[in-house]
DNA sequence: TGCCAGGAGTTAG
DNA sequence: CTAACTCATGGC
């Protein structure tokens, strides 16, 4: 099926290429990716987001995935009081935080540890091809991200063979807990930010940064502020005149400064620090 | 060759 | 609490 959603304050490229999701590829003027059990083709012409899927797709769910229900101007008003964030917003206007599948997001960011985006994409693609379901859209095909149960039962050697390295043990352990309901991902919804983060961090391979990414990208916890080396350096440079600060300090500082939408500020700052500062 | 990549766990002090 | 070491590999 195919449908269009009228959207303002949106930029598909910035949204899909800012490092929050690992399953989208650009081909010409559109992107292809996987949302849940659907292979999706998405294009944006500046006014409408046009989406085509091989299966029946819930329009409302797709809109929610792309973060279209958030009032971006209001968020800009709140975090744009900061001059650095304001510049980043100007440059990356329309970047929205996605609302991704929780298990896929958790697994993906466990895999993100100490590696780079091309490799993360490769690991996820490999896992999906090996353990996921084949999806079709026209002449294209792709694979769904495997449910926890499939990875829980996987041979650790196979996982390592897919390039996961030391992450293989982490993701298998977490997959087992999620599949057996020993760890109830959806139950985190009922916890406050701090409690949910602590609970996530009880999983092997999940530290502060990964927990914040999961809460931000799949739970709509916009106060989460993931701190990686880039953000840490950037915060130190922009707000502490270059003096080294502990990652914890950087996160606390950010939540205090940017408030309930610190995570949105993080995405803009991150993109800005890595790609666009010199040209701004 | 060397170095880095959106970290986390463990141990030592 | 911080610092240092380990894990482990593709890409440039």
The whole-number Å distance from A203's CA to C5's C1' is 22
**Average confidence score pLDDT of chain A:** 92
Question: Is any atom of nucleic acid chain C found less than 7 Å from the CB of residue A241?
Answer: no
Share of chain A above pLDDT 90, in %: 80
Question: Is any atom of nucleic acid chain C found less than 7 Å from the CB of residue A122?
Answer: yes
Question: Is any atom of nucleic acid chain C found less than 7 Å from the CB of residue A115?
Answer: yes
Residues A123 and A183 placed together within one structural domain of the fold: yes
Question: What mean pLDDT comes out for the span A99-121?
Answer: 94
Question: Is any atom of nucleic acid chain C found less than 7 Å from the CB of residue A207?
Answer: no
Sheet order of strands, A25-27 included: A2-6, A48-53, A38-44, A30-35, A25-27
List pLDDT tens digits, range A21-37: 999 999 889 999 999 99
Nucleotide nearest to A160 in CA–C1' terms: C8
List pLDDT tens digits, range A247-271: 677 888 898 899 999 999 999 999 8
Instruction: Pick the range with the lowest mean pLDDT from A2-6, A27-31, A63-67.
Output: A27-31
Q: Which domain holds residue A19?
A: 2-69
Question: What mean pLDDT comes out for the span A85-89?
Answer: 96
Question: Is any atom of nucleic acid chain B found less than 7 Å from the CB of residue A250?
Answer: no
The whole-number Å distance from A271's CA to C7's C1' is 28
Q: Which nucleotides of C are covered by protein (CB under 7 A)?
A: 1-2, 7-11
List pLDDT tens digits, range A113-171: 999 888 999 999 999 999 999 999 999 999 999 999 999 999 999 999 999 999 999 99
Q: Does residue A217 or residue A58 have the better pLDDT?
A: A217
The whole-number Å distance from A81's CA to B2's C1' is 43
CATH number of the domain to which A49 belongs = 3.30.310.40
Question: Is any atom of nucleic acid chain B found less than 7 Å from the CB of residue A18?
Answer: yes
Residues A108 and A208 placed together within one structural domain of the fold: yes
Predicted pLDDT at A277: 66
User: For the whole model, what pTM was predicted?
Assistant: 0.96
CATH number of the domain to which A179 belongs = 1.10.340.30
Q: What total number of domains does chain A contain? A: 2
Does the pLDDT of residue A204 top 70, yes or no?
Answer: yes
Residues A125 and A209 placed together within one structural domain of the fold: yes
């Amino acid at each position: 099926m195919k449908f269009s959603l009228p959207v303002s304050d949106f930029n598909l490229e910035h949204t899909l290429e800012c490092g929050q999701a690992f399953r989208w590829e650009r081909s010409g003027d559109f992107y292809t990716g996987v949302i849940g059990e659907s292979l999706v083709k998405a294009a944006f012409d500046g006014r409408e987001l046009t989406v085509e899927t091989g299966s029946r797709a819930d329009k409302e769910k797709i809109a929610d995935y792309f973060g279209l229900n958030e009032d971006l101007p209001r968020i800009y008003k709140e975090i744009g009081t900061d001059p650095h964030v304001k510049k980043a917003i100007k440059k990356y206007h329309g970047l929205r935080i996605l609302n991704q599948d929780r298990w896929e997001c958790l697994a993906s960011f466990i895999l993100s540890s100490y590696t780079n985006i091309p490799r993360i994409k490769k690991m996820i693609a490999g896992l999906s091809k090996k353990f996921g379901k084949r999806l079709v859209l026209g002449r294209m095909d792709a694979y769904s991200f495997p449910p926890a149960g499939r990875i829980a039962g996987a041979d650790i050697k196979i996982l390592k063979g897919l390039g996961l390295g030391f992450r293989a043990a982490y993701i298998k352990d977490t997959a087992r807990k999620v599949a057996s309901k020993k760890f109830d991902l959806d139950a985190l919804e009922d916890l406050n930010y701090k409690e949910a983060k602590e609970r996530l961090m009880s999983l092997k391979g999940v530290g502060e940064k990964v927990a914040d990414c999961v809460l931000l990208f799949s739970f709509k916890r916009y106060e989460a502020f993931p701190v990686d080396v880039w953000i840490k350096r950037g915060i130190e440079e922009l707000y502490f005149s270059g003096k080294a600060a502990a990652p914890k300090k950087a996160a606390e500082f950010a939540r205090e400064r940017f408030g309930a939408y610190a995570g949105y500020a993080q995405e803009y700052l991150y993109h800005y620090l890595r790609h666009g500062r010199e040209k701004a």
